[in-house]
Structure 1
Amino acid sequence: MRLHKDAKAELIRSLPLFGDCTPTEVAEVAAIADEIDLSAGRKLTTQDADGQEFVVIVDGEADVIKGDEVINTLGAGDFFGEIALLTGGPRTATVTARTSVHALVIEGHAFRRLLEDAPDIREKVERALADRSQ
């Protein structure tokens, strides 16, 4: 199930990180988002590893695991990876696909380049991240 351009942009606009972005800014973010399919049991991130991508789940479920404990289950519209990308810190948890997962992925290098090239987007994303952290 591939998303067409408008559906991808609408999904990105619905995320709190990009909610204040203009349609043009959302289109810039959507342009660097790739779609991937992952099988159940596949690790999407590993706790304490460097953050290399930002992931939005389009369809399916994934478990968030800290240590040996499942602390949350993510589903359609949920996202992860933004904190490690923006702060440069390690992943705070492991995320493993509980079911098959269809997701949007923004690679770290593309995300950082976008934020460098578009200071307005960077400001909005940092503000949204600060609001989420409170």
Structure 2
Amino acid sequence: MLQRLRVLLPALWAGLLLCIATLATPAVFAVAPEAAGRIVGRIFAQEAVVSMALALLLTAIERKLAPERQLGVWLALGALFCTVAGYYALQPMMAAARLGQGSLSFGQLHAISLGFFALKGVLVLVLAWRAAAPGRGLRPSSS
């Protein structure tokens, strides 16, 4: 069961991140530009919670299934760091920047946040790629 989750969860997570980046966010800005910031903010709030849960779950699975190989753990923890820094640390700073407070502009903070999201996407894609690699993924059943 854990081996199946080890293969499935990173792929689903990568799909979620790619869907948000390539479909959901651009569609919101195209259809509802006046409310896009609030809607996209809500999407990213939900994504941050899901990403934290998946990162912690995959860290535990990787530690259980491959204690001698820690790259999967570091990839999941890196994605967790990107979530915490890119969403939870930067969102309050972005809100303050909208009010003219802080040393960085909203645009600069947004660019940093985008960088963290992109890095998280790369880390999760590598995690998914590794989990699906021959010899690491699901083994064929003997029946």
TM bracket (short chain): under 0.3
| The structure with more strand, counted as a fraction of residues | 1
Larger CA Rg, structure 1 vs 2: 2
Superposition TM-score, scaled by structure 2 size: 0.26
Superposition TM-score, scaled by structure 1 size: 0.27
| The structure with more helix, counted as a fraction of residues | 2
